[in-house]
Amino acid sequence: MAADKIFLIGMMGSGKSYWTKKMAKWNKCVGYDLDALIEMNEEKTIAEIFNEDGEDYFRKTEAKILRWFKEKKKFVIATGGGAPCFHDNMHWMKKEGIVIWLDESVEVLVKRLSPEKQQRPLIAALSDTQITSFIEDKLVERHSFYQQANYRLTSDQVNEVGLKKLIAKHAS
């Protein structure tokens, strides 16, 4: 299976958007951020969608937009943290391409998320202590989905060397 269609999954703050840009450049393709596409399509922020339309509406929209990528030939896409857990998205992504789980530690996630929590509806109202508990709970909740990824990169492997190795392994 060539690395033509790459899906990055993991918790919010794991670096999916950051690494999508880098990997797209190395893979000579376009990088997408699923949440940004949803915001463009809906003409609302993720926070507004959650507040005005609810999570269920958001998850249905997320699944619909994810499936737009069936027709695309080559890309890297950063999915939202919950995307693999709804509407059979994980199964669909694995059928379409390779799924890489960026598995950062809870400590790293809290450090990254605390300063930007206002942009993240699920944690906007939480204290730093509550963010830690929230992340631990979400990891437990999502683990059975995340572990289905083709690859799991832990903190020490989420770097240029580790990701370039994966791309090379799947070079056409």
Name the residue among 71, 88, 90, 76 with its Cα closest to residue 7.
Answer: 76
DSSP state of 171: -
User: Rounded CA gap, 35 and 41, in Å?
Assistant: 10
Task: Give the E-state strand segments of 34-123 in sequence order.
Answer: 75-78, 98-103
DSSP letters for 110-151:
HHHHGGGGGG-TTTTT--HHHHHHHHHHHHHHHHHHHTTSSE
Q: 35 pLDDT exceeds 70?
A: yes
Residues 65 and 38: beta-carbon distance below 8 Å: yes
With a pLDDT cut of 90, the percent of the chain lying above it is 78
109: left (phi over 0), alpha (psi -120 to 50) or beta: alpha
The one-letter amino acid code at 14 reads: S
The one-letter amino acid code at 146 reads: Y
Query: pLDDT tens digits for 79-131?
Result: 999 999 999 999 999 999 999 999 999 999 999 999 988 878 789 899 988 99
Q: Quick one: CA dihedral 57, 49, 66, 148, positive or negative? A: negative
Query: pLDDT tens digits for 59-78?
Result: 999 999 999 999 999 999 99
Model pTM score? 0.94
Q: Residues 6 or more apart from 129 whose CB is under 8 A from it?
A: none
In the CATH hierarchy, which top-level class contains the domain 5-164? Answer: alpha beta
User: What is the pLDDT confidence band of residue 1, given thresholds at 50, 70 and 90?
Assistant: low
